[in-house]
């Protein structure tokens, strides 16, 4: 008695992590009764179970522990033979129990841990159904109209083209930038479209006149990403000058320069609640910003390579960030690290998007387009774009991708100057495309 | 309260946020010392007497009593804390060790210090261990209206904050906020001290108006603002990933990009492997694929050709045989006819001719004739004398002819080997119609459509009627008819086949042909004329007479002849002087010919 508040055992229970972070010091907690010993050794064995040598050693270890505890008990209670006998019987029982448990259900024990990993939901595989070849250069950015009738793409040929979503026909070509267009956004509160490019310019287009009506001057180098605040009339742009700038849309005034990154800010997104602005950078960090004061709220340093793409889940309070080493999921608003995606794309990931159904799509620099289950991080489809005829194989690369407003169509902007549209394969069923999911063997730190 | 405490398990740690240092054995020493000191301070230790203060170190305000510093103690002293640095304690770089609610030492306190204190900083091991979301159901998002409220609140707050900033900036940029310049002026009236006409233009009093100097509101700033580098945004945070993997050898090799070497220049002398060179060339990359059908086609063609050849051969053979047979048949017929005629004429038995073997059909007509004669001779005693004479005459003629034919044939056979032209072959080389047709002759067609004209007819007043000039100046053709064969070079050379008889055997011929003896290359020493190898026969020239520029000789001769010499002096004389290439100067009476002028050309 008196051992239930043992900090060693309580630690892992309070922890968010699964399993004990360190090897439990079984000798120390063996001071209790023999009954108390068994469960704690269950844990120790589970941990040791990963090592075959340790598995062999475990029973002996437990036996020794039990004898030790018996001896201690014996000392504390005095030489009462009956009690001693009882205790020895108990110890033996516990030992037998533990040994038989190990022998019978090692696999069950091993299986029990990954079983806590969520199972992936079945998603239909996606297939390419349309290729639009109209741009004369790399297609680098995309944005959808809130009414979901058209979308616009910005390209390295310095034009913005507006396409009909249903038919894929060109509706309009806008010129005005003098370098490639890296960021596009369509406001759902105004009839405005915003574009940003390598020419350091950020432009506001009035879609009623198809003209540039405002230009936001201030970036010292190319602008790489652009985002609109959902509730406030501010525009956020991040660029090669390693600053994310906050613009007042109406007055063209720069409200803040969110400085703190050491490298190019290459991805940004906004939320209505705090943290309202989240930026990813080539300095491998993700920063949360307090938009009221223009200060950092939090810095995440989990990535090893530059964070080129981030995607906010439409419903859940979490987001994913992609870098060349891994795709990681973080919780919001605190930014707790959740987990990695369970595969490595082995490419520079330029773009990422997630829809309502939890299908995360990532487009790589080598033309790989992978589809992931959001909840479990399982990659259920690994496809590769096919370059249009006349292109080199090395021109397979995805620069931007986005779901339409409903999330049923995916549009990718590629280095072979085409725009490709993808949809789910209707004929696919869980029988034809079974989920081949192997949960991670053990939950280790990433 | 006590009952409750008994019920509950003993507290793991005290409620204090900070660790109780007094219990720590490491701190025990220091803290106890500090406390002892404090208690000592309360006691007020007396200042040692003067001259006994070597070991005395006054540090506390109490050490000084009410007085100032001790000058004889060489030690920094701060009586009444005067001169002591304020933040000496703050500057200490030591953090107190704290514990979290589980009693673990919070080692990450160091990263949560100044600015980071208000931020979320992840530093624990558990922050990089994956967390499976507890059932999303239980951690359901806040209610919609609650969320809405939160959003609205945040929006409003942010909006206000941003508006404030924007307004400040906007108002700063507004032109109406330009500070108004005070336009009121001040008048100062004063009397100069130097009251004289020499000073101040003789004025005794002056009034000065003082106005503030107007400032151009749109004037650009006079001082350039230098951008001050901004302090880093926030203190550093722990790195939450493992160190990058060391670069493997393979990675390094993969990243090794060979230098670009031009196909034309290689000043650094890089070595280019042969296969790379070939690959860069791009020629060896395409493998030529030849269709099998080509081989099949050529094989089929070959087979077909063989067959066709065989067939042709066979056909020609058959044809030949047929012709042979035909010929034989005809000869047989002829022979039969002859036999018949003979037998008819002579009435002799035709059996002999009929019994003649067939191989004799190819015999000469003479033999036939011989055959033909024999029966006659046999029947000779029957004929008359006249007949006999006539027959003998005929036979004689026949014999003569035969001999002649024989001779001719022999000659011909000899001529074929020796090159001597027979009567038949002598005209062979002379017929050039074929060569002309082939375009080998340099006739008009060979000269690009130019028609050849007789040059002697040019530049003549009377045309053909005036004659062709003199025959010695042969300039009808300006080039040889056949360019291919050089007639001149072979004209006077002995030929092996034709002249072999005259010169003897081959040896002699060779000697003659190779000798330099008869080559007229030698020239006299001292002559200016160049002597190249001669390629044409030596031309003998008529000796040119002494130059007679004034025509005196001619005049004399003509006077002697009694002619009117003066008629032709002008024309002839001048023309002669002007090199005289034309035909006109060859008027009669002039002893010169063109040959004299050709001399200079050689």
- Closest residue to A304, CB basis, from B162, B232, B241: B241
Contact B129, B136 (CB under 8 A): no
Q: Which residue has the higher pLDDT, B13 or B289?
A: B289
In chain A, residues with a C-beta closer than 8 Å to the C-beta of B103 are 7
CA distance to B107, B183, B185, B207, per residue, from B213 (Å): 64, 9, 11, 18
Which residues touch A252 (CB under 8 Å, ≥6 apart)? A214, A215, A216, A217
List all residues of chain A from 127 to 186 with a beta carbon under 8 Å from chain B.
none
pLDDT at B417: 62
Instruction: Tell me, yes or no, if the pTM score tops 0.80.
Output: no
CA distance B129 to A387: 40
Give the pLDDT confidence of B317-358 residue by residue, as tens digits: 999 999 999 999 999 999 999 988 988 887 655 444 444 444
Rg, chain A, Cα only = 29
C-alpha A66: how far from chain center: 46
The Cα of B15 is separated from the nearest Cα of chain A by a number of Å equal to: 16
Task: Look at B26-40, B90-104, B399-413, B541-555 and tell me which has the smallest mean pLDDT.
Answer: B26-40
Residue in A with minimal Cα distance to B168: A255
- Residue holding tokens 């062979």? B428
- Closest residue to A336, CB basis, from B12, B131, B233: B131
Percent of chain B exceeding pLDDT 70 equals: 56
**CB neighbours (10 Å) of residue B496?**
13
Core vs surface per residue B63-81: b (16+ CB within 10 A) or e = bbeeeebbeeeeeebebee
pLDDT band at B78 (very low <50, low <70, confident <90, very high): confident
Contact A397, A367 (CB under 8 A): yes
Mean pLDDT of the residues in chain A: 81
Q: Which residue has the higher pLDDT, B24 or A377?
A: A377
Segment A93-112 mean pLDDT: 45
Give the pLDDT confidence of B495-534 residue by residue, as tens digits: 666 666 677 667 777 777 776 665 555 666 666 555 555 6
Task: Look at A336-345, A433-442, B204-213, B367-376 and tell me which has the smallest mean pLDDT.
Answer: B367-376
The Cα of A27 is separated from the nearest Cα of chain B by a number of Å equal to: 20
**CB neighbours (10 Å) of residue A233?**
17
List all residues of chain B from 168 to 207 with a beta carbon under 8 Å from chain A.
169-170
- Bridge partners (DSSP) of residue A371 are A361, A381
Contact B173, A254 (CB under 8 A): no
CA distance A144 to A184: 9
pLDDT at A157: 95
The Cα of B11 is separated from the nearest Cα of chain A by a number of Å equal to: 9
Percent of chain A exceeding pLDDT 90 equals: 67
Q: Given a cut of 70, is residue B40 above it in pLDDT?
A: no
Whether B154 sits inside 8 A of A256 (CB atoms) is: no
Q: Which of A205, A153, A146, A156 is nearest to A184 (CA)?
A: A153
CA distance A275 to A313: 15
Contact A283, A306 (CB under 8 A): yes
């Amino acid at each position: 008695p008196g051992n239930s508040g043992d900090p060693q055992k309580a630690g892992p229970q309070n922890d968010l992590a699964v399993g004990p972070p360190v090897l439990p010091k079984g000798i120390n907690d063996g001071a209790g009764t023999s009954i108390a010993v068994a469960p704690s050794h269950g844990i120790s064995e589970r941990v040791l179970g990963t090592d075959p040598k340790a598995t062999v050693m475990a029973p002996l270890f437990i036996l020794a522990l039990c004898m030790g505890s018996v001896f201690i008990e014996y000392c504390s209670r005095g030489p009462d033979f009956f009690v001693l006998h009882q205790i020895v019987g108990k110890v033996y029982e516990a030992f037998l129990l533990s040994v038989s448990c190990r022998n019978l259900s090692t696999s069950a024990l091993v299986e029990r841990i990954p079983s806590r990993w969520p199972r992936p939901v079945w998603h239909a595989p996606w297939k390419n159904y349309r290729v639009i070849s109209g741009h004369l250069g790399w297609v680098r950015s995309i944005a959808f109209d809130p009414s979901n009738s058209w979308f616009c793409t910005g390209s390295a040929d310095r034009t913005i083209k507006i396409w009909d979503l249903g038919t894929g026909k060109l509706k309009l070509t806008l010129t005005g930038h003098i370098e490639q267009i890296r960021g596009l956004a369509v406001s759902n509160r105004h009839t405005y479209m915003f574009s940003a490019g390598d020419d350091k310019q950020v432009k506001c287009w009035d879609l009623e006149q198809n003209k540039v009506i405002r230009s936001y001057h201030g970036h010292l180098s190319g602008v790489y990403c652009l985002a609109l605040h959902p509730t406030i009339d501010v525009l956020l742009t991040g660029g090669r000058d390693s600053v994310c700038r906050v613009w007042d849309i109406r007055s063209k005034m720069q409200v803040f320069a969110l400085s703190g990154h050491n490298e190019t800010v290459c991805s940004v997104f906004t939320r209505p609640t705090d943290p309202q602005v989240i930026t990813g950078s080539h300095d491998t960090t993700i920063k949360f910003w307090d938009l009221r004061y223009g200060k950092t709220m939090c810095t995440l340093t989990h990535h090893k390579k530059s964070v080129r793409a981030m995607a906010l889940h439409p419903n859940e309070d979490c987001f994913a960030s992609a870098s060349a080493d891994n795709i990681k999921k973080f919780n919001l608003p605190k930014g707790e690290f959740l987990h990695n995606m369970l595969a490595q794309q082995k490419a520079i990931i330029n773009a990422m998007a997630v829809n309502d159904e939890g299908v995360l799509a990532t487009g790589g620099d080598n033309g790989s387009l992978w589809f992931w289950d959001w909840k479990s991080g399982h990659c259920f489809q690994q496809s590769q774009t096919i370059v249009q005829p006349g292109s080199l194989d090395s021109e397979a690369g995805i620069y931007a991708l986005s779901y339409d407003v409903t999330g049923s169509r995916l549009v990718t902007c590629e280095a072979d100057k085409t725009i490709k549209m993808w949809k789910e394969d209707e004929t696919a069923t869980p029988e034809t495309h079974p989920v081949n999911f192997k949960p991670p063997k053990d939950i280790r730190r990433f | 309260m006590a009952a409750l405490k008994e019920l509950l398990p003993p507290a793991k740690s005290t409620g204090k946020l900070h660790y109780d240092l007094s219990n720590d054995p490491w701190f025990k020493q220091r803290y106890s010392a500090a406390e002892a000191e404090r208690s000592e301070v309360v006691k007020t230790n007396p200042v040692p007497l003067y001259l006994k203060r070597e070991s005395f170190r006054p540090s506390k305000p109490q050490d000084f009593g009410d007085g100032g510093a001790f000058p004889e103690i060489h030690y920094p002293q701060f009586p009444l804390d005067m001169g002591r640095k304020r933040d000496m304690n703050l500057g200490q770089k030591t953090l107190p060790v704290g514990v979290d609610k589980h009693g673990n030492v919070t080692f990450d306190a160091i990263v949560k210090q100044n600015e980071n204190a208000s931020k979320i900083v992840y530093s624990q091991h558990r922050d990089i261990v994956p967390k499976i979301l507890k059932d999303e159901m239980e951690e359901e998002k806040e209610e919609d209206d609650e969320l809405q409220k939160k959003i609205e609140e945040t929006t409003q707050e942010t909006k206000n904050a941003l508006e404030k900033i924007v307004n400040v900036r906007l108002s700063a940029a507004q032109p109406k906020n330009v500070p108004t310049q005070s336009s009121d002026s001040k008048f100062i009236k004063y009397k100069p001290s130097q009251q004289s006409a020499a000073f101040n233009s003789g004025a005794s009093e002056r009034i000065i108006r003082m106005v503030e100097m107007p400032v151009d509101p749109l004037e650009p700033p006079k001082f350039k603002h230098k951008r001050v580098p901004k302090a880093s945004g926030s203190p550093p945070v722990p790195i939450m990933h493992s160190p990058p993997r060391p670069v493997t050898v393979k990675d390094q090799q993969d990243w090794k990009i060979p230098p670009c070497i031009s196909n034309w220049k290689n000043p650094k002398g890089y070595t280019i492997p042969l296969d790379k060179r070939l690959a860069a060339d791009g020629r060896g990359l395409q493998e030529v694929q030849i269709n099998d059908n080509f081989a099949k086609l050529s094989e089929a063609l070959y087979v077909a050709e063989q067959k066709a050849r065989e067939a042709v051969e066979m056909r020609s053979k058959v044809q030949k045989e047929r012709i042979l047979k035909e010929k034989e048949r005809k000869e047989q017929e002829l022979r039969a006819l002859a036999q018949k005629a003979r037998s008819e004429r002579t009435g002799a038995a035709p059996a002999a001719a009929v019994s003649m073997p067939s191989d004799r059909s190819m015999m000469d007509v003479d033999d036939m004739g011989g055959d033909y004669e024999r029966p006659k001779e046999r029947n000779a005693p029957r004929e008359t004398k006249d007949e006999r004479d006539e027959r003998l005459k005929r036979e004689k003629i026949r014999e003569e002819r035969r001999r002649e034919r024989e001779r001719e044939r022999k000659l011909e056979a000899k001529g074929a080997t020796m090159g001597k032209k027979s009567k038949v072959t002598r005209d062979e080389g002379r017929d050039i119609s074929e060569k002309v047709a082939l375009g080998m002759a340099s006739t008009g067609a060979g000269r690009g459509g130019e028609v050849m004209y007789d040059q002697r007819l040019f530049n003549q007043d009377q045309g053909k009627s005036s004659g062709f000039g003199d025959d010695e100046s042969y300039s009808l053709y300006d080039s040889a008819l056949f360019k291919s064969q050089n007639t001149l070079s072979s004209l006077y050379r002995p030929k092996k086949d034709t002249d072999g008889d005259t010169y003897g055997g081959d040896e002699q011929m060779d000697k003659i042909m190779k000798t330099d003896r008869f080559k007229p290359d030698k020239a006299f020493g001292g002559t200016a004329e160049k002597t190249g190898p001669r390629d044409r026969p030596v031309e003998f020239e008529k000796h040119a007479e002494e130059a007679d520029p004034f025509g005196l000789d001619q005049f004399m001769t003509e006077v002697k002849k009694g002619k009117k010499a003066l008629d032709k002096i002008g024309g002839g004389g001048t023309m002669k002087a002007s090199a005289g290439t034309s035909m006109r100067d060859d008027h009669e009476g002039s002893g010169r010919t063109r040959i004299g002028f050709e001399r200079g050309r050689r």
